[in-house]
Amino acid sequence: MINRYRARGGLRIRAGVILMAAAFAAAGCTGSSTTPSAAQPSAAAPASAAASASAAAPSAAGEAITLHVLLMKQAAYSDTDVAAMTAAFNVDHPNITIVPEFVAYDALHDKIVTAQAGGGGVYDLILVDTPWPAEMVKAGIITDITDKIPAEFSTGVFDAAWTAAKYNGKIYGVPWINDTKFFFYNEKLLNNAGITAAPKTWDEVEADAKAIKAKGEVKYPIISSWKQAEAVICEWTQIAAAMGGSEFVDAQGKPLFNQGGGLAALKFMKKLIDEGLVDPASLSSTEDDVNTAMSTGQYAMTLNWTYGLNVMNDAKSSKVPGQIKVAPSPGEGSVVTSGVNGGMSLAVTATSKHPAEALQYALFLASEKSQEMDVANALPMWKASFDNADVTKNNPTLFAAAKIQFTGLVARPVVPYYTKLSNALQAAIQEALLGKKTPEQALNDVAAQLPSFQQ
Amino acid sequence: MTAGTLDRPRQRRSKPWPETWVAAAFVAPAALVILLVVVVPLVRAAWMSLFDIELTSPGVEPFVGLRNYVTQLTSADFWDSVSKALFFTGVTTALELSLGLGLAMLMDQPMRFRWLLRSIVILPWALPTIVNALMWRWIDNGTYGSLNALLAQTGVIHDYIPWLSQDSTAMWMVVLADVWKMTPFCAILILAGLQGIDRELFEAARVDGAGSRQIFRRIIVPLLTPIILVVLVLRTMEAFKVFDIIWIMTGGGPANATQTVAIYAYRTAYQSYDFGQGAALGYLIAIFIMLLAAVYLKLLRRTGA
């Protein structure tokens, strides 16, 4: 009896210990995640000062240095491209070892925050998207390099590429990627429906899509990357810009996205879904999913970044190699074309122990020579490259489309509260597309939250 | 035997450590690790949850008391994410336990190649969660996923269904992926419990005229109750704080249809830089789990397990 009692009591105690340990572990996992912020405020300022001091006096040649670089493996330069550029860099800098780390775009922002926010900092150089400079400057993650940028960058690089590098008139990154979403189409499917040229307006896109659907070859003529992620914001921004909405908020911080072009774009996107012209699966599709879908030959039109053209036409993975063509993104009314600014810069972190070398490497990657090494996945950001026949000869159509679009890219707002705004807009746009709210209601609800984001 | 030889052992024998000291010495390394990786972050997070800490406002961290908790407890988004987490927890735990029980009963039967069956069954659990999530995201893809291909080719559906793009189906697909992976875990634990039951009880019951159903209800279920409760507790806790499988498959979408409370906390802390709120959310999640744990503890006591 006593033994049975002990056995039961023992089990109860053990079960209790397991329960409590698991509960505390749960809290520890979530709670501990927040600890990095503690050291941040005090760490940022001295690190920044150290960065400036070191940048002025690079390490002596020959001193073995390792740079940790955080990059993206999705659009633009691939890991192979970066490896080739790094090999070229190491010819003159054999003492600098580059340790690149590639993550998916959707993990890049959070990886930077978790790695750098604590002040300990893992990386010397990080890739920064267009809307992030404001928040990362305020968080003390990246450093001011205004006086360290060579003059040729100021005059030779497309203006749009600087958006991801500047905040409040100062430069915090070396512009590296200048990208936007182009209009890609399956030429054969369009021709089969009697369409001989790519649509130039979104009204023409709708009309062409109806013609292709009527032909019966495909169920949904358009596939889009409208997943609840930054992808849907990029596409909505691009269509909004075509419909006259180039600003999310005005100078006073009042919302503009819930009227004019922003509202018209969302209504148009909803209309395309309701008419059965866009595959509803778009709501869970990223840009990579869109590439795969277009490669099946079951879709006629899409928007995507530069790298998409190469992937969709890859004979190894695509059922329609060579059939996917590129054109400038459609405009509407007086807007000839539009493009979301997909530029990204390389920023030296406030915690880097070798900021001068990190900047050297960034400037090398961003140089005209490096950018012209391989233009299959990313277009150069240098204006002169577009007039260099040796560079443009591989894909003159893409360069022609880019030359038009790059002059008028529309940026997502560079504000410290961007990520909060983006998260709210992602959900709101999907609520409208799913019919849970009207486009007006969905965007107005986010507009009502805007003051709380700005606090 | 001389006096010298008698004295030698006495000289070597020092005063033994008290038993509790020895025990403490053995426990100390583990206790230190727990202190560093669990207790310190816990205390730190509790402290942070009382401040307004936004990474984009360095140096400005006013003490706000319980305001972060009040903000979340009065937030519709928070309660929406809690309800999503509770739904996921309830459905996955119920399915995994019932399917796991059935699977364990099957694996307990004497049969040829039972070892092979047991090896195959455990495979999904052996897969890393991220691999499982990517695999199911691929299977459920609305444009080229194999689930649609299978259902269309067998005539079950006419048009492809965008499983992860509809708020009515996205959560169910995530549930399916989790059930596929975690059912073997439940089955293996329950199987261990089954094998601990004395087979003579079954024979005695049969001699007394009991059928299979009666044996299951009157012998197997009561004797398995303690292990079932432990499995229930473990799965409930894991499911309530689910993050990875949903993050990979849907990212919380579409339109926040799969945004559970852990994803909501992650977005608050890491994407919105609001670490004070993030810490408060971490504690709220822990409180919810402890409440669930308390209920289960009471159940354990009531069943006398």
Token output for A389: 């026949």
pLDDT higher than threshold 80 for residue B14: no
CB hemisphere CA count around A88 (13 angstroms): 19
Same domain, A215 and A291: yes
Which residues are A324's β-sheet partners? Answer: A186
Same domain, A320 and A198: yes
Query: For B67-303, CATH number?
Result: 1.10.3720.10
CB within 8 Å of chain A, chain B residues 140-169 = 141-144, 159-160, 162, 164-167
pLDDT > 90: percent of chain B = 67
Q: Where is average pLDDT lowest: A141-150, A308-317, B207-216?
A: B207-216
Residue ranges covered by each domain of chain B: 67-303
Residue B57: list chain A partners with CB under 8 A. Answer: 138
Residue B262: list chain A partners with CB under 8 A. Answer: 30
Calculate the average pLDDT of chain A: 86
Which residues are A6's β-sheet partners? Answer: none
Q: What's the whole-number mean pLDDT along residues B73-93? A: 96
Confidence of residue B295 (pLDDT cuts 50, 70, 90): confident
Same domain, A201 and A123: no
Same domain, A203 and A321: yes
Report the pLDDT value the prediction gives residue A61, as an integer from 0 to 100.
Answer: 57
Token output for A444: 């107005």
Q: What's the whole-number mean pLDDT along residues A356-377? A: 90
**Which of residues A46 and A109 earns the better pLDDT score?**
A109
Residues listed for chain B: 305
Domain CATH number, residue A192 = 3.40.190.10
Q: State the Cα–Cα distance between residues B14 and A7, nearest whole angstrom.
A: 37
Residue A369, domain member (yes or no): yes
Angle at A249 between CA B61 and CA A133, to 5 degrees: 55
Q: A244-285, pLDDT tens digit by residue?
A: 998 899 989 999 999 999 999 999 999 999 999 999 999 999
CB A278 within 8 A of CB A269: yes
Report the pLDDT value the prediction gives residue A364, as an integer from 0 to 100.
Answer: 96
Same domain, A360 and A331: no
Given the structure tokens 């409370």, which residue do they identify? B261
Q: Are strands A174-177 and A182-186 parallel, antiparallel or unpaired?
A: unpaired
Three-class HEC string of B85-107: HHHHHHHHHHHHHHHHHHHHHHH
Report the pLDDT value the prediction gives residue B102, as an integer from 0 to 100.
Answer: 94
* Domains held by chain A: number: 2
DSSP label of B37: I
Same domain, A274 and A378: no
Angle at B225 between CA B223 and CA B227, to 5 degrees: 100
**Which of residues A411 and B12 earns the better pLDDT score?**
A411
What is the value of ipTM here, to two decimals? 0.82
pLDDT > 70: percent of chain A = 86
Report the pLDDT value the prediction gives residue B67, as an integer from 0 to 100.
Answer: 96
Sheet of A182-186: strands edge to edge?
Answer: A301-304, A182-186, A324-327
N-to-C CA span, chain B:
59
Q: Nearest-CA residue of chain A relative to B235?
A: A22
Report the pLDDT value the prediction gives residue A39, as an integer from 0 to 100.
Answer: 32
Q: Where is average pLDDT lowest: A15-29, A321-335, B152-166?
A: A15-29
Q: B100-123, pLDDT tens digit by residue?
A: 999 999 999 888 888 898 889 999
The torsion region of residue A340 among left (phi > 0), alpha (psi -120 to 50) and beta comes to: beta
Q: What's the whole-number mean pLDDT along residues A100-114? A: 90
Confidence of residue A355 (pLDDT cuts 50, 70, 90): very high
Q: Where is average pLDDT lowest: A372-386, A422-436, B145-159, B237-251?
A: A372-386
Confidence of residue A118 (pLDDT cuts 50, 70, 90): low
Q: How many CB atoms lie within 10 A of CB B298?
A: 10
For chain B, how long is the longest CA-to-CA vector?
101
Same domain, A171 and A252: no
Alpha helices in A406-438 (DSSP H): 418-433
Q: Say whether residue A430 is in contact with chain B using an 8 A CB cutoff.
A: yes
Confidence of residue A152 (pLDDT cuts 50, 70, 90): very high
Q: State the Cα–Cα distance between residues A136 and A142, nearest whole angstrom.
A: 6
Is A296 close to B144, i.e. CB distance below 8 A?
yes
Q: A395-427, pLDDT tens digit by residue?
A: 889 999 998 898 878 999 888 899 999 999 999
pLDDT higher than threshold 90 for residue A4: no
Tell me the one-letter amino acid at B242: V
DSSP characters over A224-270 = ---STTHHHHHHHHHHHHHTT---SB-TTS-B-TTSHHHHHHHHHHH
pLDDT higher than threshold 50 for residue A373: yes
Q: Residue B153: which residues within 8 A CB-CB, separation 6 or more? A: none
Residue A88, domain member (yes or no): yes
CB hemisphere CA count around A65 (13 angstroms): 23
The whole model's pTM is what? 0.83
pLDDT > 70: percent of chain B = 94
Q: A25-74, pLDDT tens digit by residue?
A: 444 333 333 333 333 333 333 333 333 333 444 555 578 999 999 999 87
Q: Are strands A409-410 and A96-103 parallel, antiparallel or unpaired?
A: unpaired
Token output for B115: 């070892």
Q: What's the whole-number mean pLDDT along residues A62-90? A: 89
**Which of residues A31 and B162 earns the better pLDDT score?**
B162
Confidence of residue B305 (pLDDT cuts 50, 70, 90): low
N-to-C CA span, chain A:
65
Q: State the Cα–Cα distance between residues B284 and B228, nearest whole angstrom.
A: 27
Same domain, A302 and A275: yes
Which residues are A96's β-sheet partners? Answer: A65
Select the residue of B37, B226, B267 nearest A11 (Cβ to Cβ): B226
Q: Say whether residue B73 is in contact with chain A using an 8 A CB cutoff.
A: no
pLDDT higher than threshold 50 for residue B77: yes
Report the pLDDT value the prediction gives residue B55, as an integer from 0 to 100.
Answer: 78
Q: State the Cα–Cα distance between residues A391 and A399, nearest whole angstrom.
A: 9
Q: What's the whole-number mean pLDDT along residues A229-249? A: 94
Confidence of residue A119 (pLDDT cuts 50, 70, 90): low
- Residue after which a domain boundary falls, among A370, A385, A406: A406
Residue A284: list chain B partners with CB under 8 A. Answer: 141-142, 162, 164-165, 170, 250, 253-254
Residue A320, domain member (yes or no): yes
Q: Say whether residue B239 is in contact with chain A using an 8 A CB cutoff.
A: no
CB A361 within 8 A of CB A67: yes
Q: A319-351, pLDDT tens digit by residue?
A: 999 999 999 999 999 999 999 999 999 999 999
Report the pLDDT value the prediction gives residue B190, as an integer from 0 to 100.
Answer: 95
Whole domain around residue A274: which residue ranges? 182-340+417-454
Report the pLDDT value the prediction gives residue B19, as an integer from 0 to 100.
Answer: 86
The helix (run of H) or strand (run of E) holding residue A175 is strand A174-177
Q: B165-200, pLDDT tens digit by residue?
A: 999 999 999 999 999 999 999 999 999 999 999 989
Token output for A269: 């996107």
- Residue after which a domain boundary falls, among A371, A387, A406: A406
CB within 8 Å of chain B, chain A residues 281-300 = 281-285, 289, 292-293, 296, 298-299
Tell me the shortest Cα–Cα distance from B18 to chain A, in angstroms: 24
Q: How far is CA A444 from the centre of its chain?
A: 25
Q: What's the whole-number mean pLDDT along residues B140-162? A: 94
Q: State the Cα–Cα distance between residues B73 and A9, nearest whole angstrom.
A: 37
Is A138 close to B57, i.e. CB distance below 8 A?
yes
